[in-house]
């Protein structure tokens, strides 16, 4: 079975404009591919000044239907610029794929305020205020819209070495619920996706940290977490893209305030 990119003979996201944060690679890039293939126009944003090879390929293939902007979304002026630039380029924002995030870990008793602030500034503060900025434009334009925040299975439980990251992703789930209730009257749905262990370049960093703090060989933790997934493997970015496409499309119009586990069976809720 393949993902249907059409509804009633038309591309599923025809006429829609999506703003995607943290989409220069990994999950964000896979979602950008899915949105563009389904007829959307996309503004892809991330921290690096230059687009990755994957984004460059999209720019070459989809031309005027896609653009790339770099910027640090922890900065309010940068968030404003990303939103206004998207509006200037494409005229509106129908979908926000709120994906930018960072990971860190370490023993609880050695945790620092700097580590706490860094994780919460990106994963919670920037996530919330980008969502707010985009929601304001949706409300002002009286157009409705779709907001998709990226949570994590880590937000479903605490972990001894991953306290701050788990807490940030729990906050994403909670803010998703609150925003969904606040924006429902405006026809805006807000949902989140909770991935499990997904094989992206970030996992090299994650695996190295686990090797350090759990005294493992490099690559050992990655192998173990993949084997422990009920479906028997780590996920890949395209495993997330299908759910992101569904939540951006008219197929999910009656769904809001939900967090979808896309984790091979790791979490049951």
Q: How far apart are CA 71 and CA 61, in angstroms?
A: 23
Q: Of 33, 35, 68, 165, which residue is the catalytic one? A: 165
Q: Which long-range contacts (CB under 8 A, 24 or more apart) does 219-228 make?
A: 222/197, 225/197, 226/197, 226/199, 228/266
Q: How far apart are CA 18 and CA 144, in angstroms?
A: 13
In the predicted structure, residue 97 carries a pLDDT above the cut 80: yes
What's the mean per-residue pLDDT of the chain? 95
Q: What tens digit of pLDDT does each residue of 30-43 get?
A: 999 999 999 999 99
Q: Is 165 a catalytic residue?
A: yes
CATH no. for 11-198+236-262: 3.40.50.720
Residue 269's pLDDT is what? Answer: 82
pTM above 0.85, yes or no: yes
What contacts 245, CB < 8 A, 6 or more positions away? 3, 5, 12, 13, 31, 34, 35, 38
Q: Which of 132, 150, 159, 243 is nearest to 202 (CA)?
A: 150
242 phi/psi in degrees, rounded to 5: -65, -45
Q: Is 189 helix (H, G, I), strand (E, B) or coil?
A: strand
Domain ranges in the chain are: 11-198+236-262, 200-234
Better pLDDT: 9 or 186: 186
Cβ(115)–Cβ(104) under 8 Å?
A: yes
> Where in 175-224 does DSSP place strands (E)?
188-195
Cβ(154)–Cβ(162) under 8 Å?
A: yes
Q: How far apart are CA 163 and CA 157, in angstroms?
A: 9
Cβ(82)–Cβ(69) under 8 Å?
A: yes
Q: Which tokens hold the place of 153?
A: 């299975």
Q: Which of 198, 204, 267, 206 is nearest to 236 (CA)?
A: 198
Q: What tens digit of pLDDT does each residue of 29-76 get?
A: 999 999 999 999 999 999 999 999 999 999 999 999 999 999 999 999
Tell me what the mean pLDDT of segment 109-129 comes to: 98
């Amino acid at each position: 079975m393949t993902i249907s990119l059409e509804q009633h003979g038309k591309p599923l996201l025809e006429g829609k404009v999506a703003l995607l944060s943290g989409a220069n690679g990994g999950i964000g890039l896979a979602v950008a591919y899915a949105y563009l293939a389904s007829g959307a126009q996309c503004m892809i944003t991330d921290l690096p000044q230059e687009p990755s090879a994957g984004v460059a390929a999209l720019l070459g293939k989809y031309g005027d239907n896609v653009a790339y902007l770099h910027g640090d979304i922890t900065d309010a002026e940068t968030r404003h610029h990303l939103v206004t630039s998207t509006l200037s380029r494409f005229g509106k924002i129908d979908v926000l794929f709120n994906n930018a995030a960072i990971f860190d870990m370490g023993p609880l008793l050695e945790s620092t305020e700097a580590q706490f602030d860094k994780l919460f500034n990106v994963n919670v503060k920037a996530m919330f205020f980008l969502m707010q900025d985009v929601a304001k434009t949706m409300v002002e334009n009286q157009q409705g819209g779709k907001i998709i925040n990226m949570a994590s299975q880590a937000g479903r439980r605490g972990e001894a070495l991953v306290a701050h990251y788990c807490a940030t992703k729990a906050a994403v789930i909670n803010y998703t619920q609150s925003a969904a209730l606040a924006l429902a009257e405006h026809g805006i749905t807000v949902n989140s996706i909770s991935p499990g262990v997904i094989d992206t370049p970030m996992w090299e960093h994650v695996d190295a940290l686990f090797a350090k703090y759990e005294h493992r060989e490099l690559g050992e933790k990655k192998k173990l977490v993949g084997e422990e997934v009920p479906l028997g493997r780590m996920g890949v970015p395209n495993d997330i893209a299908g759910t992101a496409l569904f939540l951006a499309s008219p197929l999910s119009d009656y769904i809001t305030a939900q967090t979808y586990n896309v984790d091979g069976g790791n979490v049951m809720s």
